[in-house]
Structure 1
Amino acid sequence: MLVNFKDILNEAYSKHYAVGSFNGYNFETFKGIIDAGWETRTPVILAFGAKYLPNMSLATAYALAKSLGEELETPVCLHLDHCSDLATVFRAIRTGFGSVMYDGSALPFAENIKNTRLVCKIAHACGITVEAELGCLASVRANRKRHFRLPG
């Protein structure tokens, strides 16, 4: 069954256990994640990254997670992961995702905060949990050059 991220975390906090978040991008990975939750009798967070949208629509991801979760009565939070496109975030909310992650880290900080507030306002009004990437991350390429110089 599809549930909200907050519901999963509230129970985990009260009963002192961790909840795994796993990337799902096709039928096989969705099924494997939900089957693992059923086998271990624990809820799962099924993270569908925005980068997977060329392979599967939000509506298909939702329908698949809902169907598989209901078959096994496994609590599943379908989470849109690392999405920088506001329209996609809002479509995921309308589609029924239990959580969204808005990633505005490439934007100027003030614009990121403004967008994140908008996402929170809309998502919270719909009972959806929000995760956000505030600030910025160093690029992987820059870190490799700085930390992992090759000899010669």
Structure 2
Amino acid sequence: MTIYEAFSYLNQVKDKFPNQREKYITFLVVMMEFMRKRIDNVGVIEKAKDLFKGHPSLLLGLNPFLPKGNEIVLNDEDKKTYLMEQVLNFVKKIEERLENYSELEDIFSMFKKERKNAKEVHDKVILLLKDHPDLLNEFKFLLGRLSYC
């Protein structure tokens, strides 16, 4: 873990709770207590799970700070929430980068209204993202994760 990665993670925590500064400060105190060996791995994990309830990406982001074998593992509900976070982040990336984002909305709307089947939607999204290989790979990855649930 580099200093850059540590600060990046702290910024993620701060950004996730812009209107709840006390959560960020509490987390900083927990981490300082951990570094000073005043609380152990289990204590950090318990406090983090309480602080970051409903934010599994933050819980998983804590793993590089923990010793091997003490990593946080998500339960089924947290896994679903984490997957939903990934999907929402993916949609946000598409909104930011695609000029024809409304076309994607139309594709999913037609699927929802049962005018298109899953294969047709898949093919249209692949075509829409063909010039964005990173988004295309992320779409395929998320699709595989969604089909797993």
> TM over 0.5, yes or no?
no
Structure holding more helix per residue: 2
TM-score grouping bracket, smaller chain normalisation: under 0.3
Q: Which has the larger radius of gyration?
A: 2
Structure holding more strand per residue: 1
TM-score, normalisation: structure 1: 0.24
TM-score, normalisation: structure 2: 0.25
